[in-house]
Amino acid sequence: MEDDKKAFERLGLIVEELDISSSTINHIKKTIKKNDFIYPSGGNTFYLLQELKISGTDKIILEEIKNGKLYIGASAGSIITTKNIGYIAKMDDRGKARNLTDYNALNLVDFYVLPHHTNEPFTKVVEEIILDYSNKIDLIPISNTEVVQVKGE
């Protein structure tokens, strides 16, 4: 996360951090609305989704994207753009999100991003996920140096 922040700052962007697990809904909404883009970073995907849902941030993000705000997700931040994050269970510990009752995510894209393809320490688990899911869902494996860009719908 710190490397990503520094990279954005080198591009001349002002980065405002927001911890949704400890902020009020009013602070979250105000912060997301006033900034030019939304950047959920990495970490445990199940925990991130849980905190998005508990705080109501998921709805704020969807509203802001609908209004044209740019969304940039890294790792877990990209995985939550899918319909359901269940496919990532081998990579992230579901136990970190004990209050997450379902794995339905933001449903922004009709494919399933699989980050860290060919990157340690995730090489083996990414290959296992590909084997398990490549015939079931539209997986898009990407390495740490690749992006998926979605324009419009």
Summarize the chain as % helix, strand, coil (round to 5).
Answer: 40, 10, 50
Residues recognised as catalytic:
75, 116
Q: Report how many helices (DSSP H) and strands (DSSP E) the chain contains, helices first.
A: 6, 4
Quick check: 72 and 39 in contact, CB under 8 A? yes
Pairing of the two strands 70-71 and 37-38: parallel
- Alpha-carbon distance of 1 to 22, in angstroms, equals 18
